């Protein structure tokens, strides 16, 4: 480790020592979501199951609540409920990553953990350079940088980043999010036999493939894996126009299901489907654990989407991760369910039966800033709504076949909404943290993720129905 690297780490830890207690005093500080100790957190990186632990690294800016030269922070857990903060994994200290150790992934080989990440560099004139870099570890906790392993090929701008690596039939592959010289988004592939020397194979989809001539000006954070016999590409495209209920956020995150022909190489796939119907979801990344489960973590925010208006900035922190979700394929649709391990957070179970007719009632929630609500056996004439702490409303409109999530905007001045189509609603599974909501609809057919910032003391959760509705409700306090 160079002296400069040590100095950057020292300064980051000093910042944590100075400001973490302020961050922890924020009434909006999360109880059961991954947050940065101080500063800004964005993408999950290097998500990995290794030797009995789940590793989640994250893009971290320790010195401010805006973006900048990112570090890789690091959490581990054995049970997906109790997370341990580990030492900084990577600091932006070298010529090839001096303006940020940007997003990337992890694989294991011969008992070592390999991190691949993008070295973000600005030259003297502020022009961007990009390098795909490697760092290696024997214990999964401290990493030795090995430097640049792949460079920018011809035909692409330096918006070329976020390597995700996997093995297929004895060869390593790396998918990267790219922008062509014509300013269009693509996913490109590299291959390697030894993880250190990589050859460029070319684009596998994006502009010019699968009928996607105009599908965003940049694709970030690709993740390619096989699931139940299909290949799934998750990606975060930038530059899609809003279209009816779709693409309402500033940038999108979604997936294509198809088949990767490794010989060509080319991914043949169907349409793009957004992963989340809510306000705050971006740059998801998946791992496969020892039980063969495909598990997804995402950043619960969207870049450039009201980031400056988060009230947590006053407490020196911003953003969090989503809860981990297990992915399964049903036809060509990804189903997302909260990991069953999360049930270990449940305390003080209450079960009630509700039946309403043109009325509303308070749910008996002990701690609305850390609660789980599972609504099942729903029977409703025309729909119903759940209002959460005066700041968000989840509602089902049966006649229109629409589900809606509304929230008060971060500046408190507007109500904003996200929708999806849903003809029949049979379960609603809601995780409410101090400043986030995740609502799993119909056992993971759709998910709405959102930050929300209620005023302290605004604690009521109410269910209302204009016509007749009946449902059974389980309620827990979490952790
Ligand atoms: C996505 C992203 C990545 C990049 C990282 C930088 O949110 O822009 O493309 O690697 O964040 O923090």
Other Cβ atoms closer than 10 A to 148: 16
Which atom of ligand 1 is nearest the CA belonging to 104? 10
Quote the ligand 1 centre to 42 CA distance (angstroms): 7
Dihedral angle of Cα 67, 73, 76, 82, to the nearest 10 degrees: -60
Q: What is the mean pLDDT of the chain?
A: 98
**For residue 77, pLDDT beyond 90:** yes
Quick one: pLDDT at residue 235?
98
> What spacing in Å lies between the alpha carbon of 102 and ligand 1's midpoint?
6
Pocket perturbation via mutation, ligand 1, pick of 45, 57, 59, 235 by most ligand atoms within 8 A of CB: 59
pLDDT tens, position by position, 105-159 = 999 999 999 999 999 999 999 999 999 999 999 999 999 999 999 999 999 999 9
pLDDT tier for residue 265 given thresholds of 50, 70 and 90: very high
pLDDT at 1 over 90: no
Best of 162, 164, 216, 280 to mutate for ligand 1, by most ligand atoms within 8 A of CB? 162
Phi, psi (deg, nearest 5) at residue 290: -70, -15
Cα(216)–Cα(467) distance, integer angstroms: 43
The confidence band for 76, taking pLDDT boundaries of 50, 70 and 90, is very high
Centre of ligand 1 to C-alpha 474, Å, is: 38
Q: Which residues, judged by CB distance below 6 Å to any ligand atom, belong to the binding site of ligand 1?
A: 42-43, 59, 70, 102-103, 118, 161-162, 220-221, 282-283, 303
For position 326, what pLDDT does the model report? Answer: 98
Region of residue 442 (left: phi > 0; alpha: psi -120 to 50; beta: else): left
| Per-residue confidence (pLDDT) for residue 148, from 0 to 100 | 98
Closest CA to 104 of 53, 143, 51, 52: 143
pTM of the model: 0.98
The residue-averaged pLDDT of 22-47 equals 98
pLDDT band at 248 (very low <50, low <70, confident <90, very high): very high
Over residues 343-376, the pLDDT tens digits come to 999 999 999 999 999 999 999 999 999 999 999 9
154 CA distance to ligand 1 centroid (A)? Answer: 22
CA dihedral 17, 122, 297, 274 (to 10 degrees): 140
Residue located nearest, by CA, to atom 8 of ligand 1? 220
Q: What is the pLDDT of residues 303-323, one digit of tens each?
A: 999 999 999 999 999 999 999
Q: Under DSSP, is residue 426 helix (H, G, I), strand (E, B) or coil? A: coil
Give me the active site residues, please.
Answer: 43
Of 61, 163, 221, best ligand 1 pocket probe by most atoms within 8 Å of the beta carbon: 221
Mind giving me the DSSP string for 285-336? Answer: EEEE-TT--EEEEEESS-TTSSGGG-GGGGGTEE--BPPPEEEEEETTEEEE
């Amino acid at each position: 480790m160079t002296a400069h690297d040590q100095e950057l780490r020292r300064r980051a830890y000093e910042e944590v020592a100075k400001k973490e207690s302020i961050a922890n005093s924020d009434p909006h500080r999360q109880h059961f979501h991954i947050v940065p100790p101080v500063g800004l957190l964005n993408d999950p990186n290097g998500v990995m199951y290794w030797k009995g632990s789940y590793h989640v690294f994250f893009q971290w800016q320790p010195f401010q609540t805006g973006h900048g030269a990112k570090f890789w922070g690091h959490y581990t857990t054995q049970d997906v409920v109790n997370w341990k903060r580990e030492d900084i994994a990577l600091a932006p200290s070298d010529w090839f990553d001096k303006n940020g150790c940007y997003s990337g992934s992890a694989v294991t080989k011969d008992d070592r953990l390999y991190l691949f990440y993008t070295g973000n560099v600005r030259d003297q004139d502020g022009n961007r350079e990009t390098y795909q870099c490697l760092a290696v570890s024997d214990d999964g906790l401290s990493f030795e940088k090995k430097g640049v392993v792949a460079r920018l090929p011809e035909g692409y701008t330096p918006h070329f980043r976020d390597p995700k690596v996997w093995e297929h039939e004895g060869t390593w592959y790396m998918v990267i999010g790219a922008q062509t010289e014509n300013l269009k988004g693509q996913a490109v592939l590299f291959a390697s036999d030894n993880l250190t020397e990589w050859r460029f194979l070319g684009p596998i989809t994006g502009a010019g493939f699968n009928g996607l001539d105009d599908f965003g000006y940049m694709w970030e954070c690709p993740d390619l894996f096989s699931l139940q016999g299909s290949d799934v590409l998750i990606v975060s495209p930038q530059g899609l126009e809003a279209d009816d209920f779709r693409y309402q956020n500033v940038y999108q995150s979604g997936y294509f299901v198809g088949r990767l022909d490794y010989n060509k190489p080319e991914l043949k796939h169907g349409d793009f489907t957004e992963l989340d119907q809510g306000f705050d979801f971006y740059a998801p990344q998946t791992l496969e654990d020892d039980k063969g489960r495909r598990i997804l973590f995402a950043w619960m925010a969207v870049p450039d989407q009201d980031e400056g208006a988060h009230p947590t900035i006053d407490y020196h922190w911003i953003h969090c991760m989503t809860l981990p979700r297990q992915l399964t394929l049903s036809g060509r649709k990804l189903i997302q369910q909260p990991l069953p391990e999360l049930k270990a957070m449940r305390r003080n179970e209450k079960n009630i039966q509700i039946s309403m007719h043109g009325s509303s009632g308070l749910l008996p929630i002990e701690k609305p800033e850390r609660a789980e609500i599972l609504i099942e056996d729903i029977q409703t004439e025309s729909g119903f709504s759940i209002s959460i702490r005066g700041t968000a409303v989840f509602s089902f409109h049966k006649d229109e076949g629409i589900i809606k999530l509304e929230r008060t905007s971060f500046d408190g001045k507007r109500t904003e909404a996200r929708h999806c189509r849903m003809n029949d609603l049979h379960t609603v599974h809601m995780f409410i943290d101090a400043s986030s909501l995740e609502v799993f609809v119909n056992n993971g057919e759709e998910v709405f993720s959102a930050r929300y910032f209620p005023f302290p003391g605004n604690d009521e959760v109410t269910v209302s129905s204009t016509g007749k509705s009946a449902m059974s409700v389980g309620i827990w306090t979490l952790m």
